[in-house]
């Protein structure tokens, strides 16, 4: 029973390029969350999705960032025209229902470096 799978583990992009981060939730989990950890900071909520729906995107920057969780396939976090400040670790988490006492299960993260 694989956990939350994120790929790639490391991603290097030049300024102005696009970054696509993928997340396959645990089997049976239909709720997906994306968090970002900037250097020396905690985990910041970005977006909460269920299959084909964005439930809460209050933590997403207004421009350049988008997320989707299609009916088939992984959830995708897309960052267009990346800038140096986008360099961070991006974590995906999933849960079978809205999270309760056991919270989420996190993936190992994608470390994005913008050069």
Partner 1 sequence: DQQVKQNSPSLSVQEGRISILNCDYTNSMFDYFLWYKKYPAEGPTFLISISSIKDKNEDGRFTVFLNKSAKHLSLHIVPSQPGDSAVYFCAARNTGNQFYFGTGTSLTVIP
* Least CB distance to partner 1 at residue 87 (A): 16
Member of 42, 53, 62, 72 binding partner 1 (CB under 8 A): 42
Residues 6+ apart with CB under 8 A from 84: 15, 114
Rule CB under 8 A: say whether 21 interacts with partner 1: no
Rule CB under 8 A: say whether 105 interacts with partner 1: yes
Member of 11, 29, 43, 87 binding partner 1 (CB under 8 A): 43
For partner 1, which stretch binds (CB under 8 A), given 14-22, 64-72, 76-84, 91-99?
Answer: 91-99
Closest CB to partner 1 among residues 28, 100: 100
Distance CA 52, CA 106 (A): 20
Member of 13, 21, 104, 114 binding partner 1 (CB under 8 A): 104
Distance CA 13, CA 84 (A): 9
Closest CB to partner 1 among residues 14, 59: 59
Phi–psi pair at 96, nearest 5 degrees: -75, -25
Among 113, 101, 96, CA closest to 27: 96
Rule CB under 8 A: say whether 1 interacts with partner 1: no
- Torsion of the alpha carbons at 9, 26, 48 and 96, rounded to the nearest 10: -160
């Amino acid at each position: 029973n694989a956990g939350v799978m994120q790929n790639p583990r490391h991603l290097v992009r030049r300024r102005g390029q696009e970054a696509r981060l993928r997340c396959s939730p645990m089997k049976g989990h239909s709720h997906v969350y994306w968090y970002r950890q900037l250097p020396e900071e905690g985990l910041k909520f970005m977006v909460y999705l269920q299959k084909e729906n964005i439930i809460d995107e209050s933590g997403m920057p207004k421009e350049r960032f988008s997320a989707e969780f299609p009916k088939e396939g992984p959830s995708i976090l897309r960052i267009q025209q990346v800038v140096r400040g986008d360099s961070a670790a991006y974590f995906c988490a999933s849960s079978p229902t809205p999270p309760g006492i056991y919270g989420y299960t996190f993936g190992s993260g994608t470390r994005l470096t913008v050069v």
